[in-house]
Amino acid sequence: MVGLGIAGMSAAIGLRRAGWTPVIVERAPERRTGGYFVGLFPEGLQAAVDLGIADHLHTRNPERRPGGNSWSVDRRGRRRPALGFLDQPGEPAAVLRGDIEAALWQSVTGVEVRLGTTPVAITEGPAEVQVLLEEAGTGARYREGFDMIVGADGMRSSVRRIVFGPDEDHLTTWNAMICAFQLEEQVPSYEASDSITIARAKRAVWVFGLADHAPTALLTYRTTDIQEQFGGSRVQRLRSVFSGMDDPVVRHVLDSLEKAPDHLFDSVHQVKMPRWSKGRVVLVGDAAWCVNLYSGMGATSSLRGGAALSAALLEHPDDLAAALGAWEVGLRPFITKHQRTARLKQQMFVPSSRRAEALRSVLLGLVRRVRGRRQATEAGGQRAWTLSGPVVHPRPMPTRRTGACLPRGRCQVFQGALLAVGEDHRAAELHDLLAAAEFVDEEAVQVGHVTDAHVQQEVVAAREDEHGHDLGHGQRLVVEPADQGPGQRADLGEDHRLHRPAQ
Ligand SMILES: Cc1cc2nc3c(=O)[nH]c(=O)nc-3n(C[C@H](O)[C@H](O)[C@H](O)COP(=O)(O)OP(=O)(O)OC[C@H]3O[C@@H](n4cnc5c(N)ncnc54)[C@H](O)[C@@H]3O)c2cc1C
């Protein structure tokens, strides 16, 4: 096992359960702790149960306050209740990466762990794999034979490079950067466990509130020059990237970065491989499929990878090739799905443009209202607003099922559903956002299309006439409460109106 992260320890526990005797080698001189915020989804929690570590897993979801504990800050510096990362379907568990690793570590007892050790050469023979290992401290090298090698050494895996080829063959570049670290203290004027999002075109600041720990921060931005980002002082670079976002939250986060004992600063990639194993060498976790942070599924899939490997080896005890084949067949659809949706979720993390920023805001605002209404209904409260019904500006819009594609770049709200868009290049980010409704998947905010083909088949199109709202022509969308009818609109507040952003 190469790598003492979530994937490596999950695989080690899984293999031991299948009767193997794992040995873990780890490059770092000691086991790392702490780390950034991670949302663990139901599939990850199930894998934790399967691996027998669930009882050791410490989660940190803040208690939900009636007014909400997630906020977004708009361009005028106004704070509004918003949907946060933990509001996603599946109700992820809030943890630090170190919490998962600590839980795994408790079950890894008895497994031999060699710290400060890396593989430098891997040669497969007929009965075993020969590995040339190097000790970082002394530089000493020695050869050893193993029945199988599991590369769990992260996105820039050495095992992958040695056995499967150079990074350029497998790492896809996302033209985005991240910086994640723990805040010493919460942003002034916010509650200790509050979460805050400031998502602007091409740059975003996230603060993840936790129940019993200071929040963690994530700075993320889009750039086309990745290499350039690694030169010079990181703090200065981030100050320059986020300059102009003169908000107390941004200031606090950047000031905290200067004082933080450590941080993670890296470019964003996905790993795409046609096969995750070759002979007796198999890759797991980020080394094999890095879905990346925007998907929010990296830790979940690493746990699942280890649990599934265990099951496959138990099912095929005498046939390694069959076990690895079955493991990959079982796991790949899950990974492919999350690699795809990561592109969409990226728009939620850091919008690609002013247009995407505005649409993100509208979409999440709609979902939040639907949720609020549902919760009010479930609590037996009065139904104050509904999103169903015609949604028009400046006057009611007749709708019909055409089955046809909407005109280029057009966005429409119909019966509480944000429907769109044509096939022009500008619409790419709209596609991303709208398809991200899978991510928000709510009763009245449904978008049933991801590709143009789907749009043509499935969209209930609004009439393609002068009543349509083309976001490209400076119009705005206004959500009408259906109970009062069009034109009887009460004051809905600014946040339900979408103004075309200035170019
Ligand atoms: C900012 C951020 C936020 C995230 N948020 C989420 C989230 O909300 N939900 C989620 O599910 N996932 C999230 N992820 C992703 C998740 O953290 C990773 O997918 C997961 O930790 C990957 O685990 P891994 O064990 O495959 O790799 P890693 O964590 O990279 O571990 C690899 C290990 O291998 C060691 N190693 C590397 N090279 C060698 C070598 N040559 N020899 C020996 N050892 C080596 C490393 O030191 C390390 O210990 C996030 C990631 C980031 C960066």
What are the residue ranges spanned by the domains of the chain?
Answer: 6-345, 354-498
Query: What atom of ligand 1 comes closest to residue 298's alpha carbon?
Result: 19
Report pLDDT for 368.
Answer: 81
Report pLDDT for 380.
Answer: 58
Report pLDDT for 244.
Answer: 87
Report pLDDT for 165.
Answer: 98
pLDDT by residue (tens digit) across 258-274? 999 999 999 999 999 99
pLDDT by residue (tens digit) across 403-424? 223 333 333 433 333 443 333 3
* Cα 139 to middle of ligand 1, angstroms: 25
For residue 329, count CB atoms less than 10 angstroms from its CB and return exposed for 0-12, middle for 13-18, buried for 19 or more. exposed
Q: Across 209-340, where does the E strand assignment appear?
A: 216-222, 264-271, 277-278, 281-283
Q: Is the CB of 297 under 6 A from ligand 1?
A: yes
Other CB atoms within 10 A of residue 470 CB: 17
pLDDT by residue (tens digit) across 192-234? 999 999 999 999 999 999 999 999 999 999 999 999 999 999 9
Report pLDDT for 471.
Answer: 30
* Cα 193 to middle of ligand 1, angstroms: 25
Q: Which of 131-140, 145-154, 374-383 has the lowest mean pLDDT?
A: 374-383
* Cα 3 to middle of ligand 1, angstroms: 9
- Topology annotation, domain 6-345: FAD/NAD(P)-binding domain (3.50.50)
Query: What atom of ligand 1 comes closest to residue 155's alpha carbon?
Result: 30
Q: Which of 103-117, 148-162, 489-503 has the lowest mean pLDDT?
A: 489-503
Q: Quickly state the pLDDT bin for 52 (edges 50, 70, 90).
A: very high
Q: Quickly state the pLDDT bin for 158 (edges 50, 70, 90).
A: very high
Report pLDDT for 377.
Answer: 66
* Cα 79 to middle of ligand 1, angstroms: 33
Other CB atoms within 10 A of residue 161 CB: 16
Q: Confirm if 174 and 292 have CB atoms less than 8 A apart.
A: yes
Q: Is the CB of 11 under 6 A from ligand 1?
A: no
d(CA 313, CA 318): 8
Report pLDDT for 376.
Answer: 66
Q: Quickly state the pLDDT bin for 379 (edges 50, 70, 90).
A: low
Contacts of 428 (CB under 8 A, 6+ apart): none
For residue 255, count CB atoms less than 10 angstroms from its CB and return exposed for 0-12, middle for 13-18, buried for 19 or more. middle
Q: Is the CB of 101 under 6 A from ligand 1?
A: no
Q: Is the CB of 304 under 6 A from ligand 1?
A: no
Q: Higher confidence at residue 248 or residue 367?
A: 248
d(CA 15, CA 176): 35
- Report whether pLDDT(383) > 80: no
Kindly report the average pLDDT of the chain as a whole number: 79
pLDDT by residue (tens digit) across 345-375? 999 999 999 888 888 888 888 778 777 766 7
